[in-house]
Structure 1
Amino acid sequence: MRSTAQGARVEANPRTVALGAFAGTALEWYDYYVYGSAAALVFNTQFFPELSPVAGTMASFATFGVGFVARPLGAAVFGHLGDRYGRRRMLLITVVLIGLVTGCVGLLPTYAQIGVAAPILLATLRLLQGISVGGEWSGAATLAVEHAPKEKRGRYGVMPQLGSPVGSLAATGVFALVSSLPDEQFNAWGWRIPFLLAFPLLLLALWVRSRVDESPVFREMLTRQRAARRPLVELLRTSGWRLVVGIAVSFVGIGGYYLCGTFLVSYGADTAGIDRTLLLNAATAASFINLCAYPVFGWIADRTGPGPVAIWGAAASAVAAFPIFWLVGLGTPAGVAVGLAAGVVLVSVSYAACGQLLSEMFTGEVRYSGVGLSYNISGAISGFVPLAATALLAAFGGSLWPIGLMLFAFSVITLVAAVAAKRLALAEL
């Protein structure tokens, strides 16, 4: 959209806005799924070979979590700059950083080659990746919703979420291909290929995103000189409660995914002894279902608002939490695969509504900061979910009921928060 002389808002080219919101988040999630798969399947042997298998897996997931810790910092920095200087400019910067850092992981020497410097470099790159991602999804969600007419916010707002299943499909598909290599070749060089593919994907994402116009809401703020000088201070002063609600709204979509996706891939491969290709295929099937379902949830949100979609999704994942892990606990290939796929699909329902729901909770002056910190503080907590789940699994002798309890708790937190967020939504952006 753009502002006219009368202040009316007309729709921008839908395809351009949709592709721009989608392109960077697809690369973002491709990078994160690639890293999560590598942390579950290969990093323990490549970067932590001196540790036991369980300790090595926990160390791999710890580097996975480091990126999430850095995300609130990135959200604060890019949110401040995006609220002051524009959404579009920040999104060009973040997509470049994400692609470069991820590609460099594929170039890293291993522990066998340079010793302890290898895991240090891995953690450093993960930290830089987390900072850049801290401003990516939130900026894309803000830009998409601010471009949307009120009656189409659900369809626009779901576009950044589509990056998640597409990124997952690409990442798990590539990993499924390279994991079919003989173990010697996979461990020597095969695992690097998914990371190196980030370089050409970056060029494509950058070209698409460069064609998107600045948000009409931000342009109007500049015209009226309403842009906040200190967005983060204004956010904490005027919208602290909304920030707390936003963090909780995001929880099951992020933490639940890394519990049902990343952790269960590791559990299936390392504990249940299931072929990793089958597990990656199950994750691929779940992502394909989400790819088809997200536009439907966006359409529903246009008619009901995003709040009910988030509420229904959280309630469904709460009801299914223990049955999912009962299935996984059977230890059969079918049980683990079905449990993994069902869990990933159910926790993604609430996630589908996050872009619109969070954007509607904050005023334009602090929206980039509010959406970014809500989403990424939740992500910082969620990033250590696979590590916590692995520790619980060891502490309870391999029993999965504490893991099911985690998913149930995440779902209830998001359910309560979604009810509150529905009441806090702004009528106008």
Structure 2
Amino acid sequence: MAMTTTSVHVSETDARRIAVAAFVGTALEWYDYFLFGTAAALVFNRLYFTTLDPTAALLAAFATFGVGFVARPVGAVIFGAVGDRIGRRPALIMTVTMIGIATGLIGLLPAYASIGIAAPIALAVLRLLQGFAVGGEWGGAVTMAVEHAPIDCRGRFAALPQIGSPVGTLLSSGAIALVLLLPAESFDSWGWRLPFLAAFPLLLVALWMRARMEESPVFLELAAREEQLPKVPALLVFRRSPMRLLAGVAASLLGVAGFYVMTTFMVGYGTTTLGLPREWLVNATLVAALFQIVALLICGRLTERFGAGRMSVIGGIVTAVVAFPVFWLVDSGDPVLIAVAISIGTMAMDIVYAAAGTLLSELFPPEQRYSGVALSFNLAGAIGGFVPFIATALLGVSGNGSWIVALLLVAISLITAVGGLFGGRWRVVDDVVSRARVQS
């Protein structure tokens, strides 16, 4: 679908303000979403799947965790349609509202001992709602940041929403670490619920930030020519950009699947298989999140210099190289080495993750961008969300040998490198943004 545009003004100051607003909302959403992953490894397996043996209960909890990722592509289609036809801003307000309410309700959900089978069923339903909302969140935040940015500054501004991921991890892991200080009985009965209930006041903050965001100038340019707005954006992506979508999914896989290997899986692996104190694993994710913030800022700048496609290739290869050493360090059982391992693993993936927003947004033209970016990331998420489950199952095959999970991580890394290679070659540049850069 060809575009005929007039120029619009985009300044670096405006771009920074919008990117920060996108980051704040995304950080609060990822807090809600990641909180479930940590609780799945520490709480849900014991309180909501009590009739199963420990390994089966952990598998069931991770399966419930993965259910949210199945809903994400559906959310990508629905909110992608809102974002590509009605506006980026309304879609982002809807997503943050839905995930905040779903997360808060988890904190009010009775355990299996109180309501029986209804407890895990309700837990799965709320997880589905979380996933449905997140399906439209990340793609919208990245699209807004990129479409407000001068073309030569996209890397740094597209990386800002990415920082919402480690900040969300930091907030959720920190909240869990605090309530873990409670006596075990208090933690199991009511302490673990407090971080989920905090989603309600955090939702108010997110809504305030999102309400202050201005609509994307690129979307306003499209909306001025209503005939250019696709009726079903997702169908347009599948029909006109299938190879771009495939490249986007591959390039996004490590940022989702690999991250959950380093966090959700590692917490469950360390506590259940290695018998380590759960505080060690949670604290290690906190340390890694701090390093992630720095790594994302640096890699966002490097993306502007070397290109998003090349950075994705480099990140995939680096992660493949460090995969086995990371697991060797975790298997040592030393808390310091565990923190070092998870930090190294996540920072290697950050090379890819920092470039993902720029790479995906430049894979698709503006009229299908929200849907294309959201579908790419969330189809990868639908696969990656079950990686903790798959990795845990593979441990049984290998006799609890971590080498098989390291091998899985290598495979995921190389797939992402290939996706980045093709994604970089198929770059699309908006006329409207390039002209705006000259004016700003």
TM-score by length of 1: 0.96
> Which secondary structure state, in structure 1, belongs to the residue aligned with residue 381 of structure 2?
helix
Q: Report if the CA contact (8 A) 1:257-1:348 is conserved.
A: no
Cα distance 1:151–1:15, how it changes in 2: closer, same or farther (>3 A)?
closer
Which residue is 2:44 aligned to?
Answer: 43
Which residue is 1:298 aligned to?
Answer: 300
Which residue is 2:70 aligned to?
Answer: 69
* 1:112-134 C-alpha deviation (Å, 9 max, x unpaired): 11011000000000001110110
> How far apart, CA to CA, are the structure 2 residues paired with 1:14 and 1:360?
17
> How far apart, CA to CA, are the structure 1 residues paired with 2:66 and 2:6?
48
For the pair 1:426 / 2:428, whether they are aligned, the reply is yes
> How far apart, CA to CA, are the structure 2 residues paired with 1:227 and 1:212?
22
Identical positions, percent: 51
Which residue is 2:168 aligned to?
Answer: 167
Q: Report if the CA contact (8 A) 1:329-1:335 is conserved.
A: no
Q: Report if the CA contact (8 A) 2:135-2:378 is conserved.
A: yes
> How far apart, CA to CA, are the structure 1 residues paired with 2:68 and 2:25?
17
Q: Report if the CA contact (8 A) 2:299-2:350 is conserved.
A: no
Which residue is 1:362 aligned to?
Answer: 364
Match for 1:252 among 254, 278, 281? 254
RMSD: 1.4
Q: Report if the CA contact (8 A) 1:74-1:133 is conserved.
A: yes
> How far apart, CA to CA, are the structure 1 residues paired with 2:174 and 2:130?
22
Q: Which amino acid aligns with 2:175?
A: V
Which residue is 2:237 aligned to?
Answer: 235
Which residue is 1:153 aligned to?
Answer: 154
* 1:84-140 C-alpha deviation (Å, 9 max, x unpaired): 111101100100001110011000000011011000000000001110110000011
Q: Report if the CA contact (8 A) 2:20-2:161 is conserved.
A: no
> How far apart, CA to CA, are the structure 1 residues paired with 2:10 and 2:270?
50
Q: Report if the CA contact (8 A) 2:244-2:426 is conserved.
A: yes
Match for 2:410 among 379, 396, 408? 408
Which residue is 1:317 aligned to?
Answer: 319
Which residue is 1:287 aligned to?
Answer: 289
Q: Report if the CA contact (8 A) 1:19-1:209 is conserved.
A: no
Which residue is 2:392 aligned to?
Answer: 390
> How far apart, CA to CA, are the structure 2 residues paired with 1:132 and 1:389?
26
Q: Which amino acid aligns with 2:186?
A: Q
Q: Report if the CA contact (8 A) 2:260-2:385 is conserved.
A: yes
Q: Which amino acid aligns with 2:294?
A: C
Q: Report if the CA contact (8 A) 1:28-1:167 is conserved.
A: yes
For the pair 1:195 / 2:225, whether they are aligned, the reply is no
Q: How does 1:209-220 map to 2 (within 5 A)?
A: 209-220=210-221
CA positional deviation for 1:341: 2.5
> How far apart, CA to CA, are the structure 1 residues paired with 2:105 and 2:319?
36
CA positional deviation for 1:15: 4.2
> Which secondary structure state, in structure 1, belongs to the residue aligned with residue 192 of structure 2?
helix
Q: Give structure 2 stretches of 5+ with no counterpart.
A: 432-440
> How far apart, CA to CA, are the structure 2 residues paired with 1:8 and 1:116?
56
> Which secondary structure state, in structure 2, belongs to the residue aligned with residue 181 of structure 1?
coil
* 1:44-91 C-alpha deviation (Å, 9 max, x unpaired): 111001100000000000110000000000001110121111110110
Q: Which amino acid aligns with 2:200?
A: F
* 1:244-302 C-alpha deviation (Å, 9 max, x unpaired): 00000001111001111110111111221212112111111110011122121111122
Q: Which amino acid aligns with 1:185?
A: S
Q: Report if the CA contact (8 A) 1:255-1:379 is conserved.
A: yes
Which residue is 1:221 aligned to?
Answer: 222
CA positional deviation for 1:304: 2.1
Q: Is 8-17 or 406-415 further displaced after alignment? A: 8-17
Q: Report if the CA contact (8 A) 2:366-2:430 is conserved.
A: no
Q: Report if the CA contact (8 A) 1:310-1:350 is conserved.
A: yes
Q: How does 1:84-99 map to 2 (within 5 A)?
A: 84-99=85-100
> How far apart, CA to CA, are the structure 1 residues paired with 2:6 and 2:428?
22
Match for 1:381 among 367, 380, 383? 383
> How far apart, CA to CA, are the structure 1 residues paired with 2:201 and 2:372?
32
> How far apart, CA to CA, are the structure 2 residues paired with 1:338 and 1:16?
34
CA positional deviation for 1:41: 0.6
Q: Report if the CA contact (8 A) 2:27-2:165 is conserved.
A: yes
Which residue is 1:28 aligned to?
Answer: 29
Runs of 4+ in structure 1 deviating by more than 3 angstroms, as ranges, are 331-337
* 1:144-200 C-alpha deviation (Å, 9 max, x unpaired): 101111011111111110100110111111111111111111101111011111111
Q: Report if the CA contact (8 A) 1:180-1:277 is conserved.
A: no
> How far apart, CA to CA, are the structure 2 residues paired with 1:230 and 1:31?
29
Which residue is 1:9 aligned to?
Answer: 9
CA positional deviation for 1:6: 6.0
Cα distance 1:305–1:10, how it changes in 2: closer, same or farther (>3 A)?
same
Q: Which amino acid aligns with 1:159?
A: L
Q: Give structure 1 stretches of 5+ with no counterpart.
A: none
CA positional deviation for 1:325: 1.4
Q: Is 308-317 or 236-245 further displaced after alignment? A: 308-317
> How far apart, CA to CA, are the structure 2 residues paired with 1:234 and 1:8?
25
> How far apart, CA to CA, are the structure 1 residues paired with 2:320 and 2:96?
34
CA positional deviation for 1:427: 2.8
Q: How does 1:336-355 map to 2 (within 5 A)?
A: 336-355=338-357
Which residue is 2:374 aligned to?
Answer: 372
CA positional deviation for 1:326: 1.9
Which residue is 1:104 aligned to?
Answer: 105
Which residue is 1:272 aligned to?
Answer: 274
> How far apart, CA to CA, are the structure 2 residues paired with 1:14 and 1:224?
24
> How far apart, CA to CA, are the structure 2 residues paired with 1:85 and 1:249?
28
> How far apart, CA to CA, are the structure 2 residues paired with 1:262 and 1:10?
39
Q: Report if the CA contact (8 A) 2:49-2:120 is conserved.
A: yes
